[in-house]
Amino acid sequence: MAGIYIHIPFCKQACHYCDFHFSTSQKYRPDLVQALAKEISLQKNYLNGAPIETIYFGGGTPSLLEAGEINFLLDTIGQHHAVSTGAEITLEANPDDLDKEKVQALRQTAINRFSIGIQSFYDEDLVWMNRAHRSGEAETSVKRVQDAGFENITADLIYGYPLLSNAKWDHNMSILFNLDVPHVSAYSMTVEPRTALAAFIKKKQTPPVSDQQSAEQFTRLMERMNTQGFEHYEISNFSKPGRYSRHNSNYWKGVPYLGIGPSAHAFNGVARQWNVANNAKYLNSLSQNTIPAELEELTIENRMNEYIMTSVRTMWGLNMDKLDTIQAGASSLLLKEANQFLDNNWLSRNQQVLTLTPAGKLYADHIAAQLFFEAV
C-alpha cells in the first residue's frame, strides 16, 4: 500500500507562526493545478504500482480549491494509480472556506475526511495568529460538515503561546469535546526563524513562548484527552479508538508515499526526494516535463534514525526486531542508550517494543536524538 500527498501552495493570508511554503496570490492557481496533474502523470511509476490507500490534500490552504479542481486531480490520480476502495481522502480546510455552498459542492467529490484548522475558539488569539477566520466560523464549520454527512473529521488546536491561559486552553478543548469530533491534532507553538512571530519576539512586540507553559498545557491535554476516551497514538495526535489518521499513521510506520506539488516530499523506502519550494520554478520545470526535485539516497544510519524518530513518537512504539532488519545487531546497541530512559521511566519496554511513558512524551525529541545512530 502507499499514499499520495498533494501540496496546494496558496493561502488567503500568512499566519504569523507558519513557515510552510505558500503564496497569498492565487493568480497562477489554474496553471498550478494543471502542473500538479502533469506531475502526477510523470511520477506514475514512483510507487511501483502499489495500491493507493490514502490521498491527502495539504498546504497551504487546499480548501481554496473548487470542487471541480479537486475532482480533476483525483481523476488524474485514478488514471495512473489503482486507488483502493474505501481509500481515506483528506482535505485540509480553513473554517472560513466551509460555507454552505462549498460543503455541498464537496459532497460531489470523493473527499471523505476533513482536517479543519481551528487553532483557537478565541477571536483575540486568532487575530494574534493572523488567522483568516473567527471563532464563530470555527464552531459552525464543524457543525456544517457534520450536518452534510461527513463523520471523519479532525480539528487542529495550538497551545503554548502567550495569550493562552490554562482556563482558555481548557475551554478550547471542551468545545471540541462538545462538538464530538473523533480526532484532534494539537501542536505546541514553535517559533520558526523566518516568520513574522520570530520578528515580533525579536523586536519585543510580543512575549516569547514559554517551554514551561507548553509542558503544562501539554500535560493538561493528555489528561483531558484520556478522560474523554481519546487514544494518544502520536505525540500531537489523539483519536477515538480506530479513528486514527490512516495517511499520517503510514508516514510514521514508514509506508512509501508520493508527494506532488511545490515543496512536497516523497519517500519510497530507500530514498527521499523533495520538490523545489518555489511556485514559478515549479511551473517552469513542469512546462518542460521535468520534475523539479532533489534526491537523497538514505544510508543505513539514515534509515535507522528515520525509523527511530517516527516510531518512538507513536503508541505502537519502536520495534527493535524491525530495527534489526535494517541493520543486524542494531537493537543491542540501541538498548545501551535506551537504558537511561528505561531507568528514569521515560521509556517502557514490552518484549522488543519501546514506547514513551506519559513523562517521556514531554521529552520525545530529546529521547529520539539520543537514540540515533552515528555513521562510522
Indicate yes or no: pTM above 0.85.
yes
Q: How many helices (H) and strands (E) are present in the chain, helices listed first?
A: 14, 15
Question: End-to-end distance of the chain based on CA atoms, in angstroms?
Answer: 34
User: Is the residue at 257 inside a domain?
Assistant: no
Mean pLDDT of all residues in 89-104? 98
CATH code for the domain of 331 = 1.10.10.920
**pLDDT, position 230:** 98
CATH code for the domain of 94 = 3.20.20.70
How many domains, in total, are found in the chain?
A: 2
Q: Name the residue among 178, 168, 99, 167 with its Cα closest to residue 133.
A: 99
Containing structural domain, residue 160: 2-252
User: Is the residue at 126 inside a domain?
Assistant: yes
User: Is the residue at 267 inside a domain?
Assistant: no
Give me the helix-helix angle, 364-371 and 330-343, nearest 10°: 140
Q: Which residues contact 75 (CB under 8 A, 6 or more apart)?
A: none
376 pLDDT above the threshold of 60 = no
Do residues 16 and 91 both lie within one domain?
yes
pLDDT tens for residues 349-360? Answer: 999 999 999 999
Question: Sign of the CA dihedral 179, 185, 191, 193?
Answer: negative
Q: Which residues contact 38 (CB under 8 A, 6 or more apart)?
A: 286, 289
- DSSP line for 100-136: HHHHHHHTTSS--EEEEEEE-S-HHHHHHHT-SS-HH
pLDDT tens for residues 230-277? Answer: 999 999 999 999 999 999 999 999 999 999 999 999 999 999 999 999
**pLDDT, position 9:** 97
